[in-house]
Amino acid sequence: MTSLHALSPKAVSAPGKVFLAGGYLVLDRKYTALVFGLDARIHVCIEPIRTNSGVTLSEIIVRSPQFKEATWEYGYRLTEHDGGIGVTQLRASHDLPLTRNPFIETTLTYALTYISSNLPHHLIRPSSISIVASSSYYSNRGTAPSPTSKFQAFNIPLHSAHKTGLGSSAALVTSFTAALLTYYLPKEVFDLENEESLRILHNLSQASHCAAQGKVGSGFDIASAVYGSCLYRRFSPSVLSSAPDPGSPAFATELKSLVEDASRWDTQIQKSAIRMPQGLRLLMCDVDCGSETPGMVKKVLAWREENPETAEAIWDELQAGNEALAAELTRLATADVQNGDVAEKYARLREIVKANRSLIRKMSVESGVPIEPPQQTALLDACSGVPGVIGGVVPGAGGYDAIVVLIEDKESVINGLKKLLAGWKVDSSADDGVKIGKVGVLGVREEMVGVRVQDPADYKEWIDV
């Protein structure tokens, strides 16, 4: 076997997400979700492993240099009966425990299998991969290794990091997959500037992410990682639920067909359906608490099944409200409404957000699930009272995670929110006994662009550590 083309360092990044509207609804293809990408990105840089002349390795080393002991080494080989590329984790050091990372291992298996299917009879060369993330993905305090560094080092193991819920696993799977395909495949086969390649990346990342999670999710987070902000309608679960397991006979052929056959995917991703008006922006506030999303989703779905008429009525109203929100944002972004009274200009937008929140609270009460619990209601109401704040929601599945607010893009508005949050306290006598801790402003905003190519030189200080 021979290598097809000279391999040079490549780097790719993908954005996180905030689920502004359509939580729970996105699980049903009847409804859509309004998802904004965020400028918090996960970056992946890949380069050749240098070996002595005559030495051949089948090894890929993955590092997350911002964290302690975050190195994973993998061996890989072509399996029998068209089973694809088998990936086996190696022990990086006798002194370190063998800690698995299912998202990296699964993504590597799927991406290398797809690459091998496109380049039969060609050798997949060993490589070294570095992953670095924007600090906004974590609540932990970090330190920048240099005054010019865009990233922070966290003096803790990765499993000890507290995530802020910005969609790190989807951004990781997407950027990791994109980096591997960009690195190993010739540009005429895969190019991130090409719409067909983005579709391939989306489908392969969805397959990898669902496999790593052990279930078929709605896929909105992968869609926003690939395409950026969009209006999203999920794919039918059957698209992936019947996919064979890695290593099983014909896995490689089936994966290639699944990824490339557009007729098998019924997802709808509309980038043109959502815009952010000039003069407005999203701002996220990190709440030191958190909730267990899978458990909440199961309870809401159980409630919907037991109360179909009530649930359907609420979901239909929410869908109408979500569509109205997308339409009003787009109208403000495209119409000549930049002048005039600010309160009057955003009055319709404010009412839509307020009405949607009312429906979400109704669903909370009916289902008994804290989608917008009283503690978050108090916080959102207080934030909405700050001059320049249009309104806000508990995004996605809700609960006690970060909130997102839509504000006028002015420093005075951000300062007003910071002043409010600096002394924020919630009455701890709530019926559920949950007490919100410190609330702070996250340094993120909306990002319309999805996955993109980066300059490998930007990560030199992290690759060399």
Residue 147's domain comprises: 10-272+448-463
Residue 211, Ramachandran bin (φ over 0: left; ψ between -120 and 50: alpha; else beta) = alpha
Q: What is the band of 1 on the pLDDT scale with cuts at 50, 70, 90?
A: very low
pLDDT recorded at residue 314: 96
Average pLDDT (391-399) is 90
pLDDT(343) > 80: no
Same-domain status, 53 and 139: yes
Q: What is the band of 465 on the pLDDT scale with cuts at 50, 70, 90?
A: low
Same-domain status, 242 and 179: yes
pLDDT(414) > 90: yes
For residue 1, tell me if it sits in a domain.
Answer: no
Buried b (16+ CB within 10 A) or exposed e, 245-256: ebbeeebbebbb
For residue 63, tell me if it sits in a domain.
Answer: yes
For residue 4, tell me if it sits in a domain.
Answer: no
Same-domain status, 86 and 138: yes
Same-domain status, 362 and 453: no
pLDDT(390) > 60: yes
pLDDT per position as a tens digit, 277-298: 999 999 998 886 655 666 888 9
Same-domain status, 217 and 264: yes
pLDDT(53) > 60: no
CATH number at 355 reads 3.30.70.890
pLDDT recorded at residue 56: 58
Same-domain status, 392 and 310: yes
For residue 262, tell me if it sits in a domain.
Answer: yes
Buried b (16+ CB within 10 A) or exposed e, 394-406: bbbbbbbbbbbbb
pLDDT recorded at residue 2: 42
Same-domain status, 316 and 333: yes
Q: What is the band of 341 on the pLDDT scale with cuts at 50, 70, 90?
A: low
For residue 256, tell me if it sits in a domain.
Answer: yes
Pair type for strands 280-287 and 127-133 = unpaired
Name the nearest CA neighbour of 59 among 35, 71, 77, 45: 77
For residue 5, tell me if it sits in a domain.
Answer: no
Number of domains within the chain: 2
Name the nearest CA neighbour of 158 among 144, 174, 176, 138: 138
Pair type for strands 59-63 and 439-442 = unpaired
**Between 438 and 23, where is the model more confident?**
23
pLDDT recorded at residue 231: 94
Same-domain status, 303 and 261: no
For residue 2, tell me if it sits in a domain.
Answer: no
**Between 205 and 160, where is the model more confident?**
205
Average pLDDT (337-350) is 77
CATH number at 102 reads 3.30.230.10
Same-domain status, 78 and 182: yes
Cα distance between residue 353 and residue 348, in whole Å? 9
pLDDT(373) > 70: yes
DSSP 428: T
pLDDT per position as a tens digit, 416-436: 999 999 888 765 555 666 666
Same-domain status, 222 and 334: no
pLDDT(65) > 70: yes
Same-domain status, 26 and 165: yes
Cα distance between residue 292 and residue 398, in whole Å? 10
Same-domain status, 425 and 453: no
Highest-pLDDT range among 63-72, 139-148, 168-177: 168-177
For residue 198, tell me if it sits in a domain.
Answer: yes
